[in-house]
């Protein structure tokens, strides 16, 4: 009994130390964004309250429109998430549940696409989107290259494969078509996969700055990541507190991703997908 209790205490102590080690950079970033006078030493993580201010956020908002940047990032990221979820669910369901010729080859191609880095395709994509489609300086031009994500297709396929076939057979006997099966039977049972795809998809376009920068030079359309990259490289040195201003921008960019994870993390648990089968 004592040995088991000691092991449990040691485990919690180790997990607590690991959590603090991972959280400390975020804490230091927030504290750095609030400091009036920069303290780059480790003691700066615990500053004097009199040295804390919101002036750094005002300084960066005066150089770039944070609300407009957040709105642009929301449009860009929301469009990518919408396409990724819709096409990922449809393709994953077709590859896992339906029987059709070429299914295995299509899945192999979906895996092969993940081997090709996006940077390798960026120049031909830019030529196609900007010159052939005329979508430069357009939100759709930012979204289209990320609209379908092969990783999401693979994730949904693997989750759909875990669902008992008896559920689908019973629904088909009751007269349900494939779209009704997908909406009423399959999707409610793969909610962890849905939330995982949303979170993983959100992180990519939310932090993407190179592709939107290529598509548009209009500051009113650039996502926050692009505006912050321009600010850090060209403007930050001219502010009263360059370090604090950069930290403030990083906090604004990271806050939505952290909030989304905190909201969704409780749902990252597997459902009892066998509970709907009798016997």
Q: Could you tell me the CA-to-CA distances from 219 to 172, 185, 231 in Å, in that order?
A: 53, 45, 12
pLDDT for 237:
65
Spans in the chain with pLDDT lower than 50: 270-279
pLDDT for 270:
46
Q: What are phi and psi of 41, to 5 degrees?
A: -80, 165
pLDDT for 140:
92
In 3D space, the residue among 144, 140, 188, 160 whose CA is nearest the CA of residue 88 turns out to be: 160
Which two tokens mark 94? 């077709």
| Alpha carbons 130 and 3: distance in angstroms, whole number | 66
Which two tokens mark 135? 């979508």
For the chain, domains (ranges, CATH) are: 2-53 (no CATH), 72-226+249-267 (1.10.3720.10)
pLDDT for 89:
92
| Consecutive H or E run containing 188 | helix 187-189
| Alpha carbons 131 and 125: distance in angstroms, whole number | 10
pLDDT for 143:
92
pLDDT for 85:
93
In 3D space, the residue among 277, 93, 275 whose CA is nearest the CA of residue 193 turns out to be: 93
């Amino acid at each position: 009994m004592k040995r088991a209790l000691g092991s449990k205490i040691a485990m919690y102590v180790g997990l607590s130390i690991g959590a603090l080690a991972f959280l400390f950079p975020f804490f230091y970033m927030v504290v750095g964004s609030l400091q009036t006078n920069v303290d780059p030493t480790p003691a700066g993580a615990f500053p004097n309250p009199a040295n804390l201010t919101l002036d750094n956020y005002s300084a960066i908002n005066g150089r770039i429109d944070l609300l407009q940047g957040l709105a642009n990032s929301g449009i860009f990221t929301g469009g990518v998430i919408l396409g990724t979820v819709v096409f990922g669910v449809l393709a994953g369901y077709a590859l896992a549940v339906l029987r059709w010729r070429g299914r295995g080859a299509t899945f192999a191609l979906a895996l092969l696409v993940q081997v090709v880095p996006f940077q390798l395709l960026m120049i031909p994509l830019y030529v196609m989107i900007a010159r052939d489609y005329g979508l430069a300086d357009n939100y759709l031009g930012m979204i289209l290259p990320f609209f379908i994500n092969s990783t999401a297709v693979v994730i949904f396929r693997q989750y759909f494969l875990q669902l008992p076939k008896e559920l689908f057979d019973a629904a088909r006997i009751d007269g349900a078509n494939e779209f009704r099966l997908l909406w009423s039977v399959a999707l409610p049972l793969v909610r962890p996969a849905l939330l995982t795809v949303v979170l993983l998809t959100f992180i990519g376009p939310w932090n993407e700055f190179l592709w939107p920068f290529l598509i548009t030079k209009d500051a009113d359309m650039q996502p926050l990541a692009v505006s912050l990259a321009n600010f850090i490289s060209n403007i930050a040195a001219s502010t009263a507190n360059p370090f604090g201003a950069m930290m403030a921008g990083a906090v604004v960019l990271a806050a939505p991703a952290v909030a989304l994870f905190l909201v969704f993390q409780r749902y990252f648990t597997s459902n009892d997908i066998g509970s709907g089968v009798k016997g």
